[in-house]
Structure formats: C-alpha cells, structure tokens
Structure 1
Amino acid sequence: MKRNLAMTLSTILLASAGAVTQASAQDAPPQNAPVHNIVLVHGAWVDGSGWKPVYDRLTKDGYHVTIVQEPLGSLEDDVAATKRVLDQQNGPTILVAHSYGGSVITEAGVHPNVVGLVYVAAHAPAVGEDESTLGKGMPSYTSKQPGAIMKTGDGYTYLNPADFPSDFAADLPLKEAQFESHAQILTAAKVFSTPMTVAAWTSKPSWGIVAADDKIINPDLERWYYARAHSHTTVLAGASHSVYESRPKEVTAVIEDAAKHAS
C-alpha cells in the first residue's frame, strides 16, 4: 500500500514538473524576438515632450515606450534619472538619446536591461572624454556664433531665443520653434564638461543618426563618434538638430531596426 502510494506521488510530481517545464517553454519569448521596450532620453535645453512624434509612431507599432525627464543639473543626476526608468522596464530595452542625452546614455547604457543604443544627433564620448572638449576639436556653427549660448550668474546655460529657431530647429514650423525657444530647460554648464566614467557603446551595439544640417553639434563630429563606435549609421540630408521632431518617420525606423537586431 505504501509502495503504491509512493509510486503515485512520484508520478504526480513528475507530471507536474513536465507541465511546468512545458508551460515555461511556451511562455518564453523566441530568442530572436524584437525588443519590446524603448526608453527615450532628451538633450540639453529641452524636455521629453519633443519625442512625442516618435513616441506616437513607436506605440502605434506596438512598442512599450517610456520617456526620461532629466533634471539637467548634473550628468550624475541625469544618469540616475535614466537608470530609474531602466529599472522599471520588464526586459531587454533599446536606449535612445538626442544631443547631450548621448553622454547620458553612454553612462547609463551599462544597465543590464539595455541591449542596444541609438544616438540621434548625439554625443558619444569615450571614458575620460567630455563633449565640451571634443566639440572644441570640431566646433559647431552655434559654438562659433557670438551671443548664441547664454549663461546665468549661477552657471546655467540656454540658447538665445533669437537664435533658437535657426540654430536648433530650422526645419520645424517657425511658431513651434519660437515656442520651444521660450520653453527651454536651463541646463547646468558643468554637464557638458563632465568626463565619462564608462562607455556603454564599447560593449553594446549602437545605431547613429547624423543630422546633416545640424548647427548645434558639428555633423562631422557626429560621423566621427559613430564611426569610432562602429555604429549602424544613417545620414539624414537637410535635417536640423531637431531631427527627432522634424523627421520622426526616419528616426523611428532606425529605432525599430535596433529593436529588431540588437542582441
């Protein structure tokens, strides 16, 4: 009797284990399935609302998209804000950035949830480098323009509203660019000169978009960054620094390519 009971319990346990294994195999996503999570990081002087045209396209295509709102007071705080959002993702994630946000994702991209990086007209310094020093080697149109970059008495910067439409957003409707010029997030000057302590692009695949008519970052510097990182690079002719707003279709296509091919 005891022997029969033991055999019955053993059979039940084996069957249950088999059912759990089968269920787990059925629930597990295919190894080559596209990444579902996208995190978007904005740059200096603006906030995350500029990503809305890209957000709308990505969510329409079924992606789970989250936008980081950085405080722009220090690189450390902006990286921490990005990592908090990455902690909330439920699996592999593509981390995307515009402009100064490229420095942020270069640091934050070492997060274990990140499987690929997308740089959209963005900086991508190496360990020990900072974007300010690199920008002096390949200066942008704006950096050579007297009075374009303003600074407050307590060390925060912003773009002269008179120059913002032509320098930052030349391919946006003028009224939209003017509104953005008066809705800037003042950004601590020190964020641009803080050196990288890690560089996620050295260990994770990356994609880069060059805005060919960028006046805020020299397009040649963008090309150099992406060539060094062996990024899959797309050049968008005629695109301003606001490429993520003015050319959302093309930017979305690059992000979705990263989601499909990052491993």
Structure 2
Amino acid sequence: MFPLSRIAASILTAGLPLVAGSPTAQAQTAPTSIRNIVLVHGAYADGSGWKGVYDILVKDGYSVNLVQEPLTSQAEDVAAVKRVLARQTGPVILVGHSYGGAVITEAGTDAQVAGLVYIAAHAPDAGESTTSNKNKLPGATKAVAATPDGFLFIDPAHFAADFAADLPPAQAAFMAHAQMPVAAVAAAAPISVPAWKTKPSWYLVAGADRMINPDLERMYAARAHSHTIEIAGASHSVYISHAKEVAALIEQAAQQAGK
C-alpha cells in the first residue's frame, strides 16, 4: 500500500480535486477572515442597539463582543474599549458608531486592531474632536441640551426625528427615554494619534443623518481613504435600521483586512 502522503501528492500533481474534509482540502479552503469583532456604541445610546448586527455576525461565525463605555470622558471610554480588546485572542475589527468613531480612532492604535469600521461616525484627526468638527460643519439637529453637571442629551420630543427617523415610532420613543447622556468633556476631547492613519478603514455614510452632517461623514471617509458605502435616506440609527448592510460592511472589512 502507498502511504497516504504519497496519494495526496499524486492527486495534487494530477490536478484532481481533493476529497472534501481532507486535511489538505481544509488547508486550501480555510477562511482567512478575521473572526473577532468588537462593537462600540456612540453617545445617547448603549450597546443594545447593536443587537441586529450582533445576531447576523454571530450566525456567520464571528466572535462578537460589545463595549459598554460609560460616556463620562474620552479617556474612560477608550479604557473601556481596551479592556475588551485585551480579552480577544488574535486580530480584531473595531467598529464604532457616532461618537464611538472618535473612541475607536483613539483606541484603534492597539496592536490587536487590524481594521476600523465607521458607521455614521466621527473620525477626527490629531487635535480635532467631535465637538470641534461638528461646529465647523453642523448637523441638522437643534435638540441637544446640557444638564447642569455638563452632560449632553437629546430632547426626547425631537429624538425620533433627529436620531431614529427610520425606526418604528415605539422603538424610537423607547430609545429617547433610555438614552445615555454623554459628558461634554468627552465630546470635546481632542484625538492624539488617529488610528485611521495607519490602519485600513471602512465607512458607512447615513445619507439622511441629522446628528452628524452627511457631508462631514463623507469628508471623514475621503480623508481616511476608507472603503465607503452610502445608504440614502438612512438616519443616524442606520446601525439598527440597516443591520444587514452594516453587518455586510463589517464582514467585508474582516475578510479584506485578514488577507
């Protein structure tokens, strides 16, 4: 009898297909995609908004973790991200929505981060903040107010129109009354070393975003040379209303950054 190694070699030499499930076949078809995804929420929200995206990614075989940052300062929010990154084994795709984009821009220099995905998110340069950039190119919302102790929130009466216009009214109303205010000092904190300058990035522009001016989103994407898609008519809650498209972009990042 011939050794199995010689049989496999003969098959390869002859150019014949390998039997599915054989070690050599598995090696040839093994996915190169990065398997670890970390999702970071933005201001006025928490990680629960990622549920639809999470379900799709997990079904497709990815290991997904969510960061519940406190929104008390940029430093504490970045620390929350790095705490989750430290638990991952292998490279990670780091995803941020809204203010979460600024957080991943700062935290994304971590050695485990292989790529960044911005979902209707801020991507400031060194010395810039979400506040400074929004002041230069404001969004359409006029409903953001401050508490006496310096936290920003959206007037619930305007939350649906400004943050979640493409979600069912009942869901938008719940989000309005469950929103997490963000410390003004967190939004105003400048970025030190932006990760998008050294890491590949992907960007989803929400075409009808009222919280972040879509033109600011387009500027961020162009400046970072991000692989960009745009969803016309999508609100700031695009990560909820278009979970399939968001998950597809994240999977594209995982596949391409893993090559």
Give the TM-score taking structure 2 as reference length. 0.88
Equivalent position of 1:13 in the other structure: none
Task: Determine the structure 1 residue equivalent to 2:178.
Answer: 183
2:153 to 158, 170, 188: 158
Instruction: List aligned pairs for 1:65-84, cutoff 5 A.
Output: 65-84=64-83
Letter in 1 for 2:179: Q
The 1:105/1:29 distance shift into structure 2, 3 A limit, reads farther
Q: 1:202 and 2:197 equivalent?
A: yes
Shift in Å, 1:180:
0.3
Partner residue of 1:230 out of 216, 225, 229: 225
Letter in 2 for 1:254: L
Q: 1:76 and 1:162, CA in 2 relative to 1: closer, same or farther beyond 3 A?
A: same
Is 1:167 aligned with 2:162?
Answer: yes
Amino acid corresponding to residue 77 of structure 2 in structure 1: D
Task: Give the Cα–Cα distance (whole angstroms) in 2 for the partners of residues 111 and 87 of structure 1.
Answer: 9
Q: What is the aligned partner in structure 2 of residue 101 from structure 1?
A: 100
Which letter does structure 1 place at the counterpart of 2:74? L
CA distance in 1 between counterparts of 2:153 and 2:252 reads 33
What is the one-letter code of the residue matched to 2:115? Answer: G
Q: Which amino acid aligns with 1:128?
A: G
Structure number with greater Rg is: 1
Q: Deviations over 1:92-111 (max 9, x none)?
A: 10000000000000000011
Match of 1:88? 87
Q: Which amino acid aligns with 1:137?
A: K
Uncovered stretches (5+) of structure 2, i.e. residues with no partner:
1-25
| Runs of 5+ unmatched residues, structure 1 | 1-26
For 1:125 and 1:94, how far apart are their aligned partners in 2? 19
Distance 1:95 1:259 in 2: 10
CA RMSD of aligned residues (A): 1.8
Q: How much has 1:191 moved relative to structure 2?
A: 1.1
Confirm whether residue 244 of structure 1 aligns to residue 226 of structure 2. no
Quote the Cα distance in structure 2 between the aligned partners of 1:180 and 1:136: 25
User: What amino acid does structure 2 have at the position aligned with 1:190?
Assistant: V
State the distance in 1 between where 2:224 and 2:28 align.
Answer: 29
Deviation at 1:90?
0.4
Which residue does the alignment assign to 1:131?
A: 130
Deviations 1:42-101 (A, max 9, x none): 000110000000000000000000000000000000000000000000001000000000
Aligned mates of 2:70, 2:53 — CA distance in 1: 21
Aligned residues: 235
Identity %: 58
**Using the alignment, how far apart are the partners of 1:184 and 1:119 within structure 2?**
21
C-alpha displacement of 1:32: 7.2
* Secondary structure at 1:163 match in 2: helix
Q: Does 1:46 align with 2:41?
A: no
| Whole-Å separation in 1 of the counterparts to 2:226 and 2:29 | 25
1:254 corresponds to 2:249: yes
